[in-house]
Structure 1
Amino acid sequence: MLFIIELIIFGYLAACVTYNLVLAVAGKLFKRSKLTDEVAKQYGKVAILIPAYKEDEVIVSTVLSYKKLNYPADKYEVIVIADSLQQETINTLSEMDARVLEVSFEKSTKAKSLNVAFGKLGDDFDMVLISDADNVLAPDFLTKANLLYQKGHWAIQGQRVAKNLDTPFAILDAANEIIANHIYRKGANALGLSSSVIGSGMVFHYPLIKEVLQEIQATGGFDKVLQLLIVERGISIKYLEDAYIYDEKISHSAVFENQRKRWVSSQIVYLRTYWTKGWKALFRGKLNYFNLSVCQNALMPRMLLLFSLTILTLAAFLLQQFLHFSWWWMLGLFIANGLTLLIPIPAKFYSNYLLTALVALPKAMLIMVKLMFRLKGADKTFIHTKHTQTGINNPLLHAPGE
């Protein structure tokens, strides 16, 4: 019995580490594609949809930044879906020539807001960019997305990067996003798989996303359902690494806990929901669907994986005389997992921010362990993350306009 338990634990952890490591190496070997020298023959008309729930502190500065995009002014429109915004904010946005669509729900979700918007916009657009209220686009974001769209890519995920690096938790969160971008987006594309989406910085063919969103009723993790409905239609999601969208990183542990609670809960819920369908898809040769529905939802969150490997490696060393597996196997997994986390991180991050991120890491791992016992009902509750950052503070990258 002990051998079977050891085998199950080691097998699951080994599968998680191997999956992440293979994609991390693939992403490292994959040459970054750049579109800076290409010029589009035509420009698709873009609807920039910004669901804004109680985001009065940041939405005005966000909309103002979108007026500075290097894209024909008559070819894109900024549409704010105002949910519980103050009237003063709505008036200011209207004066800035942004279209404001006011919505109100008993239980707010991003999917509901987007569906209302599509019901009011008509069909005079080619593409849709879904953005969060705190997001700032690099000036060339739409230009690069349009180039891919004109080449036939109907689902595009830009590279979401940190808007701020002002606290240890913000730096840790930024590192986490760098790793996720590299593994689940760049690495996936390198192996011919569909990139996962993040919830913002996403560009889609207008009729496609309008149709897909009508099928989504999710409270949390709407992006997980969205990507499955996209690939189910035979459309692969392209990761546009060269197009930046700046996203506010969490500054404090309390916000970190609320955010991760929502993410982990949705992952468990959708693993259960799509488990059978995902395996059936695999046997029909639909690897993209299987990867996004089963593989990525079955993965242990990276901080939990790091915590588990740290504790189990130490335990295996202390209890090695009672175990069937050598503790060296667990140590090997620990080292391989460490390489997976280090491969995506740029050199500049190591020299300027690594030690600060490591300071926040133990507390973040303990929060992840604790919230595993507090997930009840999280998938049925809208958990809002408040944003306050209006400027760009990321020395790793040039701020828009520089």
Structure 2
Amino acid sequence: MIVDILWLMLQLLIGYNLIFPIFLYAGYLLAGRRTFVNIRADEYDYAVIVTAYEQTDLLPAVVSSLLKMEYSNYLIYLVCDNCDISNLHFTDERVVLLRPEKVLASNTRSHLYAISNFKRPHELLTIIDSDNLVDRRYLKELNVYFDNGFDAVQGQRRSKSLETSIASLDAARDLYYHFFDGKVMFALGSSATLAGSGMAFKTALYVESFINHDLQGAGFDKVLQAKIVSRNLRIAYAPAAIVYDEKTANRTQLENQRSRWINTWFKYFSLGFSIIARGITKFSWNQFLFGIVLLRPPLFLFILLSILCFIINLIFWGIGLWLWIFAFLAFGMSFFVALRHGRANRNIYLALVGIPSFIYVQVRSLMRIRHANKRSVATRHLIK
């Protein structure tokens, strides 16, 4: 009897991840859409922080993209950590090239290093990866949400190219998370999750979050979002503030990247418990819902665990078999809803047949998480 109860509870803990998105989507449809518009006529002063570790080949492209923005009040700070910068030459006075004397090997250290070298006291900062490109209206679209009182904003990350099936599957995953963890969560009155780049903050908020917290390894965005929501501030989602991201191109690259990401989830998922507790004690829907999302395992992991539960029920013809079938159908529906809202192109849909192989690579990544941060602190992209 006790074994049956424990088995049922385990299935519920795993299976709810399959049906949770469809409930979020139902709430999203009922909540309606709130439109945000610019209030201020003048421009905020931005610091655009671009961090590079060891590899600088992509920096000229990202700088060129940033300089083309339809905006005038910003400076670009390039933090080249452990890099050879002898081949970097920028003539535009808006570009500030920084090379720390000591190796930092940390995103937050690089960001704080840039802040300590600001040429003027920028009110806002935005974080861009060294392999990103930005839309011309990127900063203008961020302004809409700062105008409306938000202290933190996450933009939308889109794929630069989908030349391989791995890149297409990676993009499909991103569309799922951007829709449910970004657009839907924000529309429901909670916060969008942070994606590591394409995000902006009030400078004072970022400094307060990390000035006394020396964070090493991957996952600064996970810690930062927890710190922000713990203060009951909301992270806005700006779908029109677009950053183009270089997707993983091969299995080795994907495996190394996912090892760091999975390691990060195991390291920081427990932050969700304290945020849920805050939400309950302070009657904060923002904190309560966000905390639940933080506890959710990586996509591939709860799918694999769900398949295992289904197989066990199938072998023993458990009473939960049809419930699992319903749960898989619900998840499949929610996944395709996300792809439709993200306007996924033909390459992404065609690549979906490779999902088993994609999951296999991530299982290999799971097996290597103990040494994830030692192998590399950043994803290395091949220069085309």
- 1:35-87 CA distance string (max 9 Å, x none): 7x858511111110001112322111110111111112xx1111101112223
Q: Report what 1:134 is aligned to.
A: 131
* 2:381 aligned residue (378, 382, 387): 387
Query: Is 1:88 the equivalent of 2:86?
Result: yes
SS at match of 2:75: strand
Q: Report what 1:302 is aligned to.
A: 299
User: Does the 8 Å contact 2:25/2:184 carry over to 1?
Assistant: yes
Q: Structure 2, unaligned stretches of length 5 or more?
A: none
Q: Report what 2:357 is aligned to.
A: 363
- State the distance in 1 between where 2:275 and 2:185 align: 21
1:28, distance to aligned residue in structure 2 (A): 5.7
Q: Structure 1, unaligned stretches of length 5 or more?
A: 391-402
1:369, distance to aligned residue in structure 2 (A): 2.5
Q: Map residues 328-347 of structure 1 onto 2, 5 A cutoff.
A: 328-346=322-340
SS at match of 1:88: coil
Q: Report what 1:59 is aligned to.
A: 59
SS at match of 1:52: strand
Of 349-358 and 181-190, deviating more is 349-358
Distance 1:349-1:118 versus aligned 2 partners, 3 A rule: closer
What value does the CA root-mean-square deviation take over the aligned residues? 2.6
Distance 1:221-1:214 versus aligned 2 partners, 3 A rule: same
Count of residue pairs the alignment pairs up: 382
- State the distance in 1 between where 2:295 and 2:204 align: 31
- State the distance in 1 between where 2:62 and 2:338 align: 29
Percent identity, aligned pairs only? 24
Query: Is 1:13 the equivalent of 2:43?
Result: no
Q: Map residues 170-189 of structure 1 onto 2, 5 A cutoff.
A: 170-189=167-186
Query: Is 1:41 the equivalent of 2:41?
Result: yes
**Residue 238 of structure 1 aligns to which amino acid in structure 2?**
A
Distance 1:297-1:34 versus aligned 2 partners, 3 A rule: closer
Q: Map residues 3-402 of structure 1 onto 2, 5 A cutoff.
A: 3-27=4-28, 40-72=40-72, 75-90=73-88, 92-93=89-90, 97-106=94-103, 108-121=105-118, 124-218=121-215, 219-272=217-270, 275-276=273-274, 278-292=276-290, 294-320=291-317, 323=318, 325-346=319-340, 352-378=346-372, 383-388=377-382
- State the distance in 2 between where 1:179 and 1:9 align: 25
**Residue 386 of structure 1 aligns to which amino acid in structure 2?**
R
SS at match of 2:130: coil
- State the distance in 2 between where 1:351 and 1:82 align: 35
- 1:82-106 CA distance string (max 9 Å, x none): 112223233x135675101112545
SS at match of 2:370: coil
Q: Report what 1:398 is aligned to.
A: none
Name the TM-score, length of structure 1 as normaliser. 0.86
User: Does the 8 Å contact 1:49/1:78 carry over to 2?
Assistant: yes
Of 282-291 and 176-185, deviating more is 282-291
SS at match of 1:376: helix
User: Does the 8 Å contact 1:135/1:246 carry over to 2?
Assistant: yes
- State the distance in 2 between where 1:192 and 1:389 align: 41
- State the distance in 2 between where 1:57 and 1:139 align: 22
